[in-house]
Amino acid sequence: MATKLFDLITETDARNIEPGSTIRLAPRGIVTPLAADTLRARRVTVIADDGVRGDPGLVPAGDIRRVAIAADHSGVALKAALVPWLRGRGLAVADLGVADGTPADYPDTAAAVARAVVRAEADAGIVIDGVGLGSAIAANKVDGIRAAMCVNETLARYARQHNGANVLALGATLLTIEEAKPIVARFLETPMTEPRYIARLAKIARLESA
């Protein structure tokens, strides 16, 4: 009998799969973190059609403990304020530069953060330039990155909750330090949990290889 092919496995799905069975995951399909725990507990084997075991990594980390941050020369002051503030909130922060006003290109600083996130060296990233758009565009060129430029808490919440963003882009000329802090806090504190939103991440991922 053919084994059912899953594009998305949620915790509800996992609880309805017979213990000890084997299931198939579509290429670049998603196993949510809670589902992965349930599948392990029920001794269910997941075989991906692309030869890779189902990876919950498409779903952004809900409990963010490690943050990678970088800025071009226009965002140095904002970054300098955010780094100790983030550490004061108990987060491990990897400051990937730059350190002064020497001209730096935003594609380089954004790429450094994006690569740290896709390598699982950080749970989320923050990229800063003059208005944030360039860094968002550059970061999004790295497979697995969903960067969102946010100028308020509402956008930060939607970016995470609905779109599974794993990198936040900030514009240093658009926001004061005190305006940026609640945006960053909202982004880092908002998890993505709804299966209907998570299912769309697989479609986004497939666009990267289209």
Q: Please identify which residue in the block is written with the tokens 């990594």.
A: 57
Length of the chain: 210
SS3 97: coil
In sequence order, the 6+-apart residues with CB closer than 8 A to the CB of 1 are none
- Residue 99: what are its φ and ψ, rounded to 5°? -105, -15
What backbone phi and psi angles, to 5 degrees, belong to 115? -70, -35
- From the list 42, 89, 157, 162, the catalytic residue is 162
Residue 69 near residue 94 (C-beta atoms within 8 A): yes
| 43 torsion bin: left (phi>0), alpha (psi -120 to 50), beta (else) | left
Tell me the HSE value of 15 on the side-chain side, using a 13 A CA sphere: 4
Which helix (H) or strand (E) segment holds residue 69: the answer is strand 66-71
> Can you tell me which residue has the tokens 């780094």?
83
Residue 73 known to be catalytic: no
Write phi, then psi, for 73 (nearest 5 degrees): -60, -30
What positions carry a catalytic annotation? Answer: 162
